[in-house]
A and B are shown apart, each in its own frame.
Chain A
Amino acid sequence: MMALYLRDLKLATRAGGGALTGILFFLAVVAVVPFGLGPDLKLLARVGPAMLWIGALLASLLGLDRLFQAEREDGALDVMLMQETPLVLVVFVKCLAHWTASGLPLVLISPLLGLFLNMEPAAILATMLTLLAGTPAITLIGAMGAAVAVALPRGGLLVSILVLPLVVPVLIFGVSAAYAAVEDPAPFLPPFLILIAISLFFAVIGPAAAAVALRASSE
């Protein structure tokens, strides 16, 4: 399984791998927000966590459709379907590698982008923490969409639309936890724990659902 993880990481970082695409998209979205909203520093600081979350959400949806499609196109998916290793585990490891290559960099770059938005250190830290807990859920939910649309040649947009309703809760609890860290009356922990629960929930459901969809698509 380590072999699969390392191979997917290598593929993501080589030419055409797309690990950088998400980061650049995230950077572009967040960088244009101050220009669009104008130089109101207070307003920027207030929308900061939400903007970071929306940017990260859209950036993580970007490369998801290729998760299984590339494997199917070169025939590797057929071979993976025939192994002793359970397909659920294969899907989970692929999600893990995809998150390491394209989700984790978003989390790591978010403090820098937080500075663009005039966010306070506490808000930056809270947003980073919620992104760390929430982006795996986006990848795992996206894997289900990617598996359903694996046989469609232009499935990219369809995947995003399919998974969007499912990732909305992630966004809601991620942003509310990030706000709770800076706004006094709201407690940080409850929304943050729900966010973690969503990630854990989809860590179980996501690979299982994706594996079923992939088996059905091989016909």
Chain B
Amino acid sequence: MPFRLRVDGLGASRGEDPIFRAVCLVLDAGDALLVTGRNGTGKSTFLRTLAGLHPADSGTILLEGAADPTAPVRESLHYLGHRNAMKRDLTVAENLVFWSRFSSRSGDTDPTVPPEAALETVGLGGLGHLPFGYLSAGQQRRAALARLLVAHRPVWLLDEPTAALDTASERMVEALIAGHRAAGGIVIAATHQALDVPGAQTLTMSGFAVPA
């Protein structure tokens, strides 16, 4: 089924200050979008607005060709924010098993990766038994990326996915993004690092509050 994310005239504010206005986008299956811009220009707010975590002032977000057209768009998204959404006191494997069960949707037929295999993919194979809090910042970020694999969502929203990652792990993130796009997914990433995402559209946030 052709699959398309359409954003029309999206705008959002923080308090009184408008952050962005009239953002229009069309992303087809397999497309990617890199959101760039200086600090404080609203990259994170843009992603949170798409995820339904921040109220939009105007505009619409539509997912055409979704399995259930009446379901809110947010249910088809994976959001990886600044924070990793993992419990320090649970082991890495326990965290991932929880998210894979919690995020699995009724009638899901899309393939998902078992937690152990997802940990192998992000280069944490054999570390599943460690409490999440024992890992280094970069390892924690990689474990958080593994969450994207254990439950299938067609659209990924990644906020600084490579924060705290070394160069080798940045290549791993690029491979993850490429793999998701090859499988017909859409990736929207906000980043400062030069991520190599071939054929990606870019959206440069200029911000209203910060002079360009």
Expressed in whole angstroms, the Cα–Cα distance for A74 and B79 within the complex equals 13
Spot the interface stretch: B33-41, B96-104, B166-174.
Answer: B96-104
Spot the interface stretch: B22-30, B80-88, B184-192, B195-203.
Answer: B80-88
Answer yes or no: B118 CB below 8 A from chain A CBs: no
SS class, residues of chain B in contact with chain A: loop
Nearest Cβ on chain B to A20's Cβ, whole angstroms: 14
Answer yes or no: B129 CB below 8 A from chain A CBs: no
Evaluate contact between B85 and A79: CB separation under 8 angstroms. Answer: yes
Evaluate contact between B75 and A84: CB separation under 8 angstroms. Answer: yes
Expressed in whole angstroms, the Cα–Cα distance for A7 and B83 within the complex equals 19
List chain A residues, Cβ under 8 A from B21.
Answer: none
Interface residues on B, range: 20 to 34
Evaluate contact between A15 and B89: CB separation under 8 angstroms. Answer: yes
Evaluate contact between A78 and B53: CB separation under 8 angstroms. Answer: yes
Answer yes or no: B52 CB below 8 A from chain A CBs: yes
Contact with B along A1-19 (1 / 0, CB 8 A): 0111001001100111100
Nearest Cβ on chain A to B52's Cβ, whole angstroms: 7
Evaluate contact between B101 and A82: CB separation under 8 angstroms. Answer: no
Interface residues in A, total, Cβ within 8 A:
24
Which single member of A76, A81, A218 contacts B87 (CB below 8 Å)?
A76
Expressed in whole angstroms, the Cα–Cα distance for A123 and B82 within the complex equals 53
Contact with B along A109-128 (1 / 0, CB 8 A): 00000000000000000000
Which single member of B77, B87, B97, B106 contacts A82 (CB below 8 Å)?
B77
List chain A residues, Cβ under 8 A from B98.
Answer: 3-4, 7
List chain A residues, Cβ under 8 A from B97.
Answer: 3
Expressed in whole angstroms, the Cα–Cα distance for A79 and B89 within the complex equals 18
Contact residues, B46-91 vs A (CB, 8 A): 48, 51-55, 71, 74-75, 77, 79, 81-90
Nearest Cβ on chain A to B64's Cβ, whole angstroms: 19
Nearest opposing residue in chain B for A90, CB measure: B102
Answer yes or no: B160 CB below 8 A from chain A CBs: no
With A75-B83, A84-B105 given, is the CB distance from A218 to B53 under 8 Å? Answer: yes
Evaluate contact between A76 and B85: CB separation under 8 angstroms. Answer: yes
With A7-B94, A15-B89, A84-B75 given, is the CB distance from A74 to B84 under 8 Å? Answer: yes
With A75-B81, A76-B87 given, is the CB distance from A82 to B74 under 8 Å? Answer: yes
Evaluate contact between A78 and B101: CB separation under 8 angstroms. Answer: no
List chain A residues, Cβ under 8 A from B105.
Answer: 84
Expressed in whole angstroms, the Cα–Cα distance for A129 and B149 within the complex equals 47
Evaluate contact between B102 and A219: CB separation under 8 angstroms. Answer: no
Which single member of B53, B81, B82, B89 contacts A17 (CB below 8 Å)?
B89
Evaluate contact between B51 and A82: CB separation under 8 angstroms. Answer: yes
Expressed in whole angstroms, the Cα–Cα distance for A219 and B83 within the complex equals 16
Nearest Cβ on chain B to A163's Cβ, whole angstroms: 25
Expressed in whole angstroms, the Cα–Cα distance for A10 and B52 within the complex equals 30
List chain B residues, Cβ under 8 A from A219.
Answer: 53-55
Evaluate contact between A7 and B90: CB separation under 8 angstroms. Answer: yes
Answer yes or no: A73 CB below 8 A from chain B CBs: yes
Contact with B along A45-89 (1 / 0, CB 8 A): 000000000000000000000000000011110111111110000
Some 23 contacts from A to B, beta carbons below 8 A apart, are: A3-B102, A7-B90, A10-B94, A11-B89, A15-B89, A74-B87, A75-B81, A75-B83, A75-B85, A76-B86, A78-B81, A78-B83, A79-B79, A80-B102, A81-B53, A82-B51, A83-B75, A83-B102, A84-B71, A84-B105, A85-B102, A218-B53, A219-B53
B interface vs A, CB < 8 Å?
48, 51-55, 71, 74-75, 77, 79, 81-90, 94, 97-99, 101-103, 105-106
**Contacts A82-B75, A219-B55 supplied; 10 other A-B pairs, CB < 8 Å:** A3-B97, A10-B94, A11-B89, A75-B81, A78-B51, A78-B81, A81-B52, A81-B53, A82-B74, A84-B75
